[in-house]
Amino acid sequence: MSPRKHYSIALTGRAPLDLGGRTLVMGIINVTPDSFADAGRRFDPARAIDDGLLMIADGADILDVGGESTRPGAEPVDAGEELRRVLPVVEALARDGRVPVSIDTYKAAVAREAVASGATIVNDVSGLQYDTDLAPVVSGAGAALVLMHNRGRSSEMYRGAVYEDVACEVGRELEAAIARATRGGIPRDRLILDPGFGFAKRAEHTWESLARLDRLVELDRPILVGPSRKSFLTAATGERSPVERDWATAGAVAACVLAGAHIVRVHAVREMVDVVRVADRIRLRA
């Protein structure tokens, strides 16, 4: 079992994120009509806000609000529409104040408005590859940044899914993402890394990335993982719809915690909080 280093991530206007003592749970709030995992359940902002408050009650440590689907084949939406979807949700959940709010976007214009509305973390699925203006926005706002490994856009998700050693290549490419961030003025101590399960990775690549998650430890940044309800899980279980994948998600979440993840990004918060509490107990005794 790989060691899990402790980190403190500064967040503007609130207490820092303490990572490493226990695994934090990030609840997913997709304010989209075409989310693969919940069939657009939270496209109504009022429903998204209510569900976010329920996630907090169920034990979420962070809420991640997104207004554009990044599932394979998804088409992008413009910044204006994305802002229309997410800003009411970000504002309401940030006003509640109990947990930090993350904005799941790769667009500088969306990040700027979301941070002004109370978000303190930007979760960028592109690893600063899509919008060159994003790094200065994050830097200027003093926000934390999640850098996810990815290759290419959602519309061509698997074109870049060619690897000789996926764990090593993901590590090298995340190291390059760290360099992009620091060149853009974002302090290294505000960065979190995500190996990007399912993004530009076929099922076998994601399984290998999960099994070798400790490869990222040498990059010396906290690790966030997002296995929740993703299609790679069906390679183990057989075909299941996304909402039927929570048991499989639980297995992946436990494995990620034991492999050193600091944050798990999930849909079913209440159930996964129990999973990480059990896995954390095992880590304490290893």
pLDDT at residue 185, as a whole number: 97
pLDDT at residue 245, as a whole number: 97
Q: Which residue has the tokens 């992946």?
A: 252
Which class for 221: exposed (0-12), middle (13-18), buried (19 or more C-beta within 10 A)? buried
pLDDT at residue 117, as a whole number: 97
Cα–Cα distances in angstroms (integers) from residue 240 to residues 38, 205, 254, in the given order: 14, 20, 20
pLDDT at residue 156, as a whole number: 78
Distance CA 159, CA 155 (A): 9
Distance CA 143, CA 189 (A): 11
pLDDT at residue 239, as a whole number: 96
First-to-last C-alpha distance (Å) of the chain: 7
Please list the ranges in the chain whose pLDDT falls under 70: 2, 34-43, 73, 286
Distance CA 176, CA 193 (A): 12
Report H helices in the chain: 45-57, 79-96, 108-116, 134-141, 166-183, 203-211, 234-237, 246-259, 269-285
Q: So where are the chain's domains?
A: 21-285
Catalytic residues: 230, 265
User: Helix or strand or coil: residue 79?
Assistant: helix
pLDDT at residue 155, as a whole number: 72
What pTM was computed for the model? Answer: 0.95
The H or E element spanning position 224 is strand 224-225
Tell me, which fold does domain 21-285 have in CATH?
A: TIM Barrel (3.20.20)
Distance CA 143, CA 124 (A): 12
